Amino acid sequence: MTMASYPVLVEVTLRPGIADPQGATIERALPALGFEGVEGVRVGKAIRFTVEAPDADTARSRVDDLCQKFLTNPVIEDALVSIGVEATIE
């Protein structure tokens, strides 16, 4: 089976309704810095890596599993997964 290497970006965000004190603090600081009209600041994490898989669907399901079990705490966080164009592994 040919394996390919997929670049992955996982954005971890706090679930809707979960308070985000970091985002709120940043938002409160903005007017003092001269940035008006910036609203809805939410702070999360971006995690980049590559995953080996035979095809994109398999890559996706492995990353979803990884997010569920480790990269996010499903009680308070969601994951937005983006999978890029694969590179063939020689």
Partner 1 sequence: MKVGVVVFPGSNCEHDVVEAVERVGATGELLWHGDSSLGDVDAVVLPGGFAHGDYLRPGAIARFSPVMGAVAKFADDGGPVLGICNGFQVLTEAGLLPGALQKNAGLKFLCRTVDVRVDSTDSVLTSGAARAQVLRLPINHFEGNYTCDPHTLDELRAEGRVVLRYVDNPNGATDDIAGICSSRGNVVGLMPHPERASDDLLGSTDGLVLLRSFLGVPERV
29 secondary structure, DSSP code: H
- Our CB check for partner 1 shows the closer of 22 and 82 to be 22
Given candidates 21, 34, 37, 40, which one binds partner 1 under the rule CB under 8 A?
A: 21
Strands 77-83 and 4-14: antiparallel
Using the rule CB under 8 A, is 3 a contact of partner 1?
A: no
Q: Give whichever of 57 and 73 is closer to partner 1, judged by the CB atom.
A: 73
Choosing from 1, 75, 88, 90, the residue that interacts with partner 1 (CB under 8 A) is 75
| Cα→Cα distances 82→6, 7, 10, 59, Å | 10, 8, 6, 11
